[in-house]
Structure 1
Amino acid sequence: MKPTFEHDWKQDYIEAVIFDMDGVLVDSEPIYFDIERASFAHFGAFLDDEEHHGYVGTTLETMWQRVLDKHQLNFTLEEVLNHHNSNVIKIMTDHPDLRPMPQLERWLDWLAENQIPVAVASSSPKVLIDLIMNKTGLGRYFSIRVSGEDVAHGKPEPDIFLQAADQLGIKPSACLVIEDSRNGVKAAKSAGMRCIGYNNPGSGSQDLSLADLQITGYEQLWNLRNELLFSS
């Protein structure tokens, strides 16, 4: 079924595309969920799926501070982050199944051919963004990479997308964001950008209703490429 626009799609041309990373460029959210569940249990926190999925799109610092507070854990933020980050880097470095989403590279090649610049804006730490870009081969597309570490406030605040637009040299209203989380969609819309919600089952039960359009894969987006008002 062809997706339909759920909100008014402004008639300004799109001059740049900003991608979230996890769940959008690579299907890594299920891997993170497993790592996070192990870390939560290590520190004595046992989260249900609703709470866990509610942290998708936020920075690790935000997630862990909320978990520490809600579950009244007697550990410092530094302690839990050091433990968790070391596990994430080790597992992601060795993981055999990190690869680009299906049909993504055809879409990225088309954007490049049409001189539409792109950026990554991910809540993940910069070292993890670089690791995944290098491991998947996607790094050749993304010279602009903005991390949650680069801004004062993470998603759902708009800071990370505004920073990406600034680095691209494109006004926010001319940027299109592709996001798989409720927090990310809210951040994109708060930044004054158009947003496509990527319905990825691996990202949990995310409410993407604020997105202008929802898709389930890049093949759908490919078929809509001539309807999205790209400048060229």
Structure 2
Amino acid sequence: MIQTVIFDMDGVIVDTEPLHHFAYHLHFDDLNIKVSPEMYATFTGFSTRNTYEKLKEQFAIPYEVAELVDRKRELFNEAFDKKEDLFLLEGVDTLIRDLFSNGMQLVLASSSAKVTIERVFTRFRLHHYFTHIISGEDFPKSKPDPAIFIEAARLSGTPVENCIVIEDSANGVKAAKSAGIYCVGYVSPNSKLQDLSLADKIISHFNELDFEKVKRLR
């Protein structure tokens, strides 16, 4: 029986993908680089650091990765703080409350930086639902490397066979499966060009899940 649900954040809990897209592309313009939609889609699920490491392999960017990361985060944070019409994805708040009230452990495993996670969790008052919050910036490699999900399961104290992951990106799904964890692929409205075919179950709305359904997955 499932005891722990591991959530991704961007594109699963909150619709921040358009803000990331805006911040990245504003920065790309400043750097005078052209990143195609196809290339950009491959970065979904990556940490910001790993994204810029990949970009420096493709383009002659005369800045260190740390400088690039800091500038992108400045642009994102400015956009986040100004955007009033930012909401949790439809139905996810109901699912989180349902799982929590029935004793399911919830863990966050997001590629986002800790400061971004803190901004989101504070704005939407999510802290008390989650026993652990894990940021991709603490790992040398991003999803599809499974390290973040292996660590999430370890911290939860739950065997991987009693965990599930909810992910919206191809990289996230691959990471979950590499960690040996059942994966629900969520077709997020703003996560474009994502192949979720490796997921064990694919949903397009969170009303397709509730505590009774989740605990019996596998």
TM-score of the two chains, using structure 1 as the length reference: 0.89
Please tell me the residue identity of whatever aligns with 1:67: L
Aligned to 1:96: 84
1:128 aligns with 2:116: yes
| Structure 2 partner of 1:185 | 173
Provide the C-alpha distance between the structure 2 equivalents of 1:49 and 1:83, rounded to a whole number of angstroms.
Answer: 21
Please give the per-residue CA displacement for 1:194-225, whole angstroms capped at 9, x wherever unaligned: 00000013011100000001111111224xx5
Aligned-pair CA distance for 1:96 = 0.9
Rounded Cα–Cα distance in structure 2 between residues aligned with 1:196 and 1:206: 14
Paired residues of 2:50 and 2:141 also in contact (CA < 8 A): no
Take 1:139 and 1:97, find their aligned partners in 2: how far apart are those partners? 21
For the Cα contact (< 8 Å) 1:198–1:216, is it kept in 2?
yes
Matched residue of 2:109: which SS?
Answer: strand
CA distance in 1, matches of 2:3, 2:58: 42
**RMSD of Structure 2 on Structure 1 (CA):** 1.5
State, as a whole percentage, how many aligned pairs show the same letter: 34
Aligned match of 1:5: none
Q: C-alpha distance in 2, partners of 1:83/1:18? A: 29
Deviations 1:102-148 (A, max 9, x none): 12122112111221100110000011101101112222312410001
The answer as to whether partners of 2:6 and 2:166 remain within 8 angstroms in 1 is: yes
Of the structure 1 ranges 145-154 and 47-56, higher mean CA displacement relative to structure 2 is found in 145-154
Cα distance, 1:230 vs. partner? 4.2
Offset at 1:76? 1.6
TM-score, length basis structure 2: 0.94
1:180, 1:206 within 8 Å by CA — same for their partners in 2? yes
> 1:4 is matched with which residue?
none
CA contact (8 A) 1:100 1:138 kept: no
